[in-house]
Structure 1
Amino acid sequence: MRPSFPGGHGGAQEADGSLGDRRRAVLTCAAVMAVADLLGVDTAVVSTSSPFTDLGLSSSQLARLTAHLEDAMGVEVPLTAIYDHPDIEQLVEYLAMR
């Protein structure tokens, strides 16, 4: 299920060409929820700036994370992106620029 955008925002580019803070917030929320789901923890304990491995995700969980994120965000997330952008903030920034 894809996340809904606040205020009816469809995730399209805004007038100035930026993807907008709302879209980044939705992407961040989706990533936090996916990580929390994989770890079986509350979303409040998931740091967006800690590396995925420091959060306790194993390599097999990182592979599953890509599928969770693809479903939630509606964008392709290659496994290499998880290693090239090793925390939620960096990954969201990367995905927002695609």
Structure 2
Amino acid sequence: MSYSSLESTKSQKRPEASVIQDWLSSYLAQLLEIDLQEIEPQTSFERYGLDSSAMVVLSGDLQEWLGQKLDPTLLYDYPNIETLAQYLAQQS
């Protein structure tokens, strides 16, 4: 699946939580083929139906977008868009 419309931040500093949240919301909406308005940042990834393999793929795509290595268990530690985006924005 191509997410070319979701621009990379490799050469930039870590984006703010709102930018990360927007990327994650858009990613899930595309993946699940639903309207962006149906994505709620407080809803768990698991509740959206993401299994472990889907979360590994999401983690890899997010890692590529951010241009920084991420722990594969990150989506379990921060199980929704809001908490994950806040955590990532605070990392340097």
2:85 aligned partner: 92
The TM-score with structure 2 as length reference comes to 0.75
**C-alpha offsets along residues 29-52 of structure 1, whole Å, 9 cap, x if unaligned?**
111112222222222111110110
Matching residue's letter, 1:57? L
**C-alpha offsets along residues 47-86 of structure 1, whole Å, 9 cap, x if unaligned?**
1101100111122111111022123333333221100000
Say which structure, 1 or 2, has more relative contact order (CA 8 Å, 6+ apart): 2
Which structure 2 segments of 5+ residues have no match?
A: 1-6
SS of structure 2 residue aligned to 1:86? coil
The TM-score with structure 1 as length reference comes to 0.71
Which structure 1 segments of 5+ residues have no match?
A: 4-9, 13-21
* C-alpha RMSD of the superposition: 2.0
1:51 to 44, 52, 69: 44
For 2:30 and 2:64, locate their aligned partners in 1 and report how far apart those are by CA, in whole Å: 13
Residues 1:2 and 2:38 aligned together? no
For 1:67 and 1:58, locate their aligned partners in 2 and report how far apart those are by CA, in whole Å: 14
**C-alpha offsets along residues 5-37 of structure 1, whole Å, 9 cap, x if unaligned?**
xxxxx647xxxxxxxxx7211111111112222
1:33 to 26, 39, 52: 26
- Structure showing the higher helix proportion among its residues: 1
**% same residue:** 28
Kindly tell me the number of residue pairs found equivalent between the two proteins. 83
Please identify the structure whose Cα radius of gyration is greater: 1
More displaced stretch, 49-58 vs 32-41: 32-41
